[in-house]
Amino acid sequence: MAFQLPDLPYPKDALEPHIDALTMEIHHDKHHAGYTKKLNAALEGTGWENRTIEDILANLKDLPADKQTAVRNNGGGFINHSIFWATMSPNGGGEPTGAIKHAINEKWGSFDAFKEAFAKTAATQFGSGWAWLGYSKEEGLHLHGMPNQDSPALHGHVGILGIDVWEHAYYLNYQNRRPDYISAWWNVVNWDEVNKRYAAAKG
Ligand code: MN
Protein backbone atom coordinates (compact mmCIF):
# COMPACT_ATOMS: atom_id res chain seq x y z
CA MET A 1 0.00 0.00 0.00
CA ALA A 2 1.60 3.18 -1.13
CA PHE A 3 1.65 6.23 1.09
CA GLN A 4 -1.31 8.52 0.46
CA LEU A 5 -1.34 12.30 0.54
CA PRO A 6 -3.65 13.15 3.47
CA ASP A 7 -6.44 15.63 2.77
CA LEU A 8 -6.25 18.96 4.52
CA PRO A 9 -8.54 18.79 7.58
CA TYR A 10 -10.04 22.24 6.73
CA PRO A 11 -10.59 24.36 3.60
CA LYS A 12 -7.51 25.97 2.04
CA ASP A 13 -8.62 29.46 3.06
CA ALA A 14 -9.49 28.44 6.63
CA LEU A 15 -6.23 29.65 8.17
CA GLU A 16 -6.44 33.15 6.69
CA PRO A 17 -5.30 35.78 7.41
CA HIS A 18 -2.42 33.98 9.11
CA ILE A 19 -1.69 31.57 6.26
CA ASP A 20 -3.17 32.46 2.88
CA ALA A 21 -5.15 30.10 0.65
CA LEU A 22 -2.75 30.14 -2.28
CA THR A 23 0.18 29.22 -0.05
CA MET A 24 -1.88 26.35 1.40
CA GLU A 25 -2.90 25.17 -2.05
CA ILE A 26 0.62 25.10 -3.48
CA HIS A 27 2.10 23.76 -0.26
CA HIS A 28 -0.33 20.85 0.03
CA ASP A 29 -1.22 20.06 -3.58
CA LYS A 30 2.27 20.51 -5.06
CA HIS A 31 4.95 20.25 -2.37
CA HIS A 32 3.39 17.63 -0.07
CA ALA A 33 2.00 15.71 -3.05
CA GLY A 34 5.49 15.73 -4.57
CA TYR A 35 7.15 14.37 -1.43
CA THR A 36 4.52 11.62 -1.24
CA LYS A 37 4.95 10.58 -4.86
CA LYS A 38 8.75 10.58 -4.66
CA LEU A 39 8.70 8.64 -1.37
CA ASN A 40 6.60 5.92 -2.99
CA ALA A 41 8.86 5.85 -6.04
CA ALA A 42 11.99 5.55 -3.88
CA LEU A 43 10.55 2.68 -1.82
CA GLU A 44 9.30 0.70 -4.78
CA GLY A 45 10.97 -2.71 -4.93
CA THR A 46 12.80 -2.32 -1.60
CA GLY A 47 10.39 -4.52 0.38
CA TRP A 48 9.89 -1.59 2.78
CA GLU A 49 6.64 -0.43 1.18
CA ASN A 50 4.38 -1.66 3.99
CA ARG A 51 6.35 -0.33 6.95
CA THR A 52 5.22 2.80 8.77
CA ILE A 53 6.95 6.03 7.90
CA GLU A 54 8.21 6.32 11.49
CA ASP A 55 9.77 2.85 11.27
CA ILE A 56 11.31 3.58 7.87
CA LEU A 57 12.95 6.82 8.98
CA ALA A 58 14.18 5.44 12.31
CA ASN A 59 15.89 2.56 10.44
CA LEU A 60 17.05 4.47 7.40
CA LYS A 61 20.64 3.21 7.61
CA ASP A 62 19.39 -0.31 6.81
CA LEU A 63 17.88 0.77 3.48
CA PRO A 64 19.98 0.23 0.35
CA ALA A 65 22.49 3.10 0.26
CA ASP A 66 21.29 4.47 -3.07
CA LYS A 67 17.75 4.95 -1.64
CA GLN A 68 18.64 6.62 1.64
CA THR A 69 18.83 10.24 0.51
CA ALA A 70 15.57 10.13 -1.43
CA VAL A 71 13.74 8.47 1.46
CA ARG A 72 15.25 10.80 4.06
CA ASN A 73 14.16 13.88 2.08
CA ASN A 74 10.80 12.72 0.76
CA GLY A 75 9.84 10.51 3.70
CA GLY A 76 10.69 13.40 5.99
CA GLY A 77 8.64 15.73 3.80
CA PHE A 78 5.75 13.28 3.90
CA ILE A 79 5.58 12.91 7.69
CA ASN A 80 6.52 16.50 8.55
CA HIS A 81 3.73 18.00 6.46
CA SER A 82 1.21 15.38 7.63
CA ILE A 83 1.85 16.52 11.21
CA PHE A 84 1.94 20.20 10.21
CA TRP A 85 -1.59 20.24 8.71
CA ALA A 86 -3.04 18.29 11.62
CA THR A 87 -1.56 20.55 14.27
CA MET A 88 -3.11 23.69 12.78
CA SER A 89 -6.78 24.69 12.90
CA PRO A 90 -8.93 27.72 12.16
CA ASN A 91 -10.10 27.31 15.77
CA GLY A 92 -6.56 27.16 17.09
CA GLY A 93 -4.33 29.61 18.88
CA GLY A 94 -4.42 30.78 22.44
CA GLU A 95 -2.62 29.01 25.23
CA PRO A 96 -2.00 25.30 25.55
CA THR A 97 -4.25 23.23 27.77
CA GLY A 98 -4.07 19.92 29.58
CA ALA A 99 -0.97 17.77 29.89
CA ILE A 100 1.09 19.68 27.33
CA LYS A 101 0.52 22.92 29.21
CA HIS A 102 1.86 21.37 32.41
CA ALA A 103 4.79 19.74 30.63
CA ILE A 104 5.75 23.01 28.91
CA ASN A 105 5.54 24.93 32.17
CA GLU A 106 7.65 22.33 33.91
CA LYS A 107 10.38 22.39 31.25
CA TRP A 108 10.43 26.07 30.19
CA GLY A 109 8.88 27.79 33.20
CA SER A 110 6.03 29.43 31.30
CA PHE A 111 4.26 29.35 27.95
CA ASP A 112 5.79 32.71 27.04
CA ALA A 113 9.30 31.40 27.70
CA PHE A 114 8.56 28.31 25.60
CA LYS A 115 7.16 30.43 22.77
CA GLU A 116 10.26 32.59 22.79
CA ALA A 117 12.59 29.57 22.68
CA PHE A 118 10.56 27.86 19.95
CA ALA A 119 10.31 31.03 17.84
CA LYS A 120 14.06 31.58 18.20
CA THR A 121 14.74 28.03 17.02
CA ALA A 122 12.48 28.64 14.00
CA ALA A 123 13.82 32.11 13.19
CA THR A 124 17.47 31.06 13.39
CA GLN A 125 17.19 27.81 11.40
CA PHE A 126 19.57 28.63 8.56
CA GLY A 127 18.04 28.15 5.13
CA SER A 128 15.25 25.63 4.68
CA GLY A 129 14.08 23.52 7.56
CA TRP A 130 11.82 23.15 10.54
CA ALA A 131 11.63 23.87 14.23
CA TRP A 132 10.21 20.97 16.24
CA LEU A 133 8.94 20.34 19.70
CA GLY A 134 9.90 16.67 19.88
CA TYR A 135 9.46 13.96 22.44
CA SER A 136 11.55 10.96 23.35
CA LYS A 137 11.43 8.71 26.38
CA GLU A 138 15.06 9.59 27.19
CA GLU A 139 14.88 13.37 26.79
CA GLY A 140 11.19 14.11 27.27
CA LEU A 141 10.08 17.26 25.45
CA HIS A 142 12.81 19.17 23.67
CA LEU A 143 13.34 21.68 20.86
CA HIS A 144 15.16 20.83 17.63
CA GLY A 145 16.03 22.98 14.65
CA MET A 146 16.23 20.60 11.71
CA PRO A 147 17.53 21.27 8.19
CA ASN A 148 15.75 20.42 4.94
CA GLN A 149 13.06 17.77 5.53
CA ASP A 150 14.88 16.00 8.35
CA SER A 151 12.31 14.78 10.84
CA PRO A 152 12.37 13.93 14.55
CA ALA A 153 11.42 10.43 13.35
CA LEU A 154 14.97 10.04 11.96
CA HIS A 155 16.13 9.90 15.59
CA GLY A 156 13.25 7.68 16.68
CA HIS A 157 11.62 10.73 18.31
CA VAL A 158 8.03 11.88 17.96
CA GLY A 159 7.37 15.25 16.37
CA ILE A 160 4.74 16.81 18.62
CA LEU A 161 4.53 20.30 17.07
CA GLY A 162 6.55 21.68 14.17
CA ILE A 163 6.69 24.80 12.07
CA ASP A 164 7.81 24.68 8.46
CA VAL A 165 10.25 27.54 7.81
CA TRP A 166 10.99 26.74 4.18
CA GLU A 167 10.32 29.85 2.13
CA HIS A 168 7.52 27.97 0.31
CA ALA A 169 5.61 28.01 3.62
CA TYR A 170 5.42 31.81 3.87
CA TYR A 171 7.03 33.74 1.03
CA LEU A 172 3.87 34.68 -0.92
CA ASN A 173 2.38 36.44 2.07
CA TYR A 174 5.36 37.37 4.22
CA GLN A 175 8.23 37.53 1.70
CA ASN A 176 11.46 37.62 3.71
CA ARG A 177 9.72 38.35 7.02
CA ARG A 178 10.03 34.90 8.58
CA PRO A 179 9.57 36.23 12.15
CA ASP A 180 6.17 37.73 11.17
CA TYR A 181 5.05 34.37 9.80
CA ILE A 182 6.18 32.63 12.99
CA SER A 183 4.28 35.16 15.13
CA ALA A 184 1.11 34.69 13.06
CA TRP A 185 1.37 30.90 13.11
CA TRP A 186 0.76 30.75 16.88
CA ASN A 187 -2.82 31.89 16.09
CA VAL A 188 -3.57 28.61 14.31
CA VAL A 189 -1.82 26.07 16.55
CA ASN A 190 -4.26 23.27 17.39
CA TRP A 191 -3.44 22.53 21.03
CA ASP A 192 -6.04 19.75 21.24
CA GLU A 193 -4.18 17.87 18.55
CA VAL A 194 -0.83 18.66 20.18
CA ASN A 195 -2.17 17.15 23.41
CA LYS A 196 -3.28 14.02 21.55
CA ARG A 197 0.13 13.62 19.97
CA TYR A 198 1.86 14.14 23.31
CA ALA A 199 -0.38 11.58 25.03
CA ALA A 200 0.23 9.03 22.25
CA ALA A 201 4.01 9.63 22.35
CA LYS A 202 4.19 9.14 26.11
CA GLY A 203 2.14 5.93 25.79
MN1 MN B 1 6.78 22.67 3.37
Distance 164 CA to ligand 1 centre (A): 6
Distance 109 CA to ligand 1 centre (A): 30
- pLDDT given at position 64: 96
> Is the pLDDT reported for residue 194 higher than 80?
yes
Q: Region 141-154: what's the mean pLDDT?
A: 97
Distance 124 CA to ligand 1 centre (A): 17
- Phi and psi of 28, rounded to 5°? -80, -55
Give CA–CA dist 136/188, Å, rounded.
25
Among residues 152, 143, 179, 149, the alpha carbon closest in space to that of 166 is found at 149
Distance 89 CA to ligand 1 centre (A): 17
Q: Region 57-72: what's the mean pLDDT?
A: 98
Let me know: does 141 contact 134? Beta carbons within 8 Å: yes
Distance 122 CA to ligand 1 centre (A): 13
Burial label, 61 (beta-carbon count in 10 A; 0-12, 13-18, 19+): exposed
Let me know: does 108 contact 117? Beta carbons within 8 Å: yes
Distance 163 CA to ligand 1 centre (A): 9
Distance 145 CA to ligand 1 centre (A): 15
Mean pLDDT of the chain: 97
pTM of full prediction above 0.95: yes
Length of the chain: 203
Q: Region 113-135: what's the mean pLDDT?
A: 98
CA 90 to chain centre: 17
pLDDT digits (tens, 9 = 90+) for 149-159: 999 999 999 99
Give CA–CA dist 55/58, Å, rounded.
5
Distance 97 CA to ligand 1 centre (A): 27
Domains and CATH numbers, the chain: 21-86 (1.10.287.990), 98-202 (3.55.40.20)
Distance 165 CA to ligand 1 centre (A): 7
Residue 1 banded pLDDT, cuts 50, 70, 90: low
pLDDT digits (tens, 9 = 90+) for 28-42: 999 999 999 999 999
pLDDT digits (tens, 9 = 90+) for 66-112: 999 999 999 999 999 999 999 999 999 999 999 999 999 999 999 99
